[in-house]
Amino acid sequence: MTPAYEKLLQQLKQLPGLGYRSAERIAMHLLVEDSGSLPELIESLQVARSTVGRCAVCGNMAEEKRCSICADGRRDHSRICVIEHVPDLIALERSSAWKGGYHVLHGKLSPIHGVGPEKLNLASLQQRIESGEIAEFVLALSNDIEGQATCHYIQEELVGARGIEVTRIGFGLPSGGGVTFADPVTLRSALESRRKYS
Q: What is the number of other CB atoms lying within 10 angstroms of the CB of residue 184?
A: 14
pLDDT of residue 128: 93
Decide: 78 and 100 in contact? Cβ < 8 Å: yes
Q: Residue 50 pairs with which residues in a beta bridge?
A: none
Euclidean distance between CA atoms 96 and 139, whole angstroms = 17
Specify the pLDDT at position 175.
67
Distances (CA, A) of 25 to 5, 20, 48, 136: 12, 9, 23, 46
pLDDT for 173 equals: 64
Q: How many CB atoms lie within 10 A of CB 194?
A: 17
Report if pTM > 0.95.
no
DSSP letters, 66-131, are S-TTTT-TTSEEEEEEEESSHHHHHHHHHHT---EEEEE-SS--BGGGTB-GGGSS-HHHHHHHHT
**Structural domains in the chain plus CATH codes:** 3-51 (1.10.8.420), 61-196 (3.40.1360.10)
Please give the chain's pLDDT, 198 residues, in tens: 788 888 988 999 999 888 889 989 998 888 888 878 888 989 999 999 999 999 999 999 999 999 999 999 999 999 999 999 999 999 999 999 999 999 999 999 998 999 999 999 999 999 999 998 999 999 999 888 899 999 999 999 898 878 899 998 876 666 677 788 887 877 877 787 777 876
- The count of other CB atoms within 10 Å of the CB of residue 197 is 18
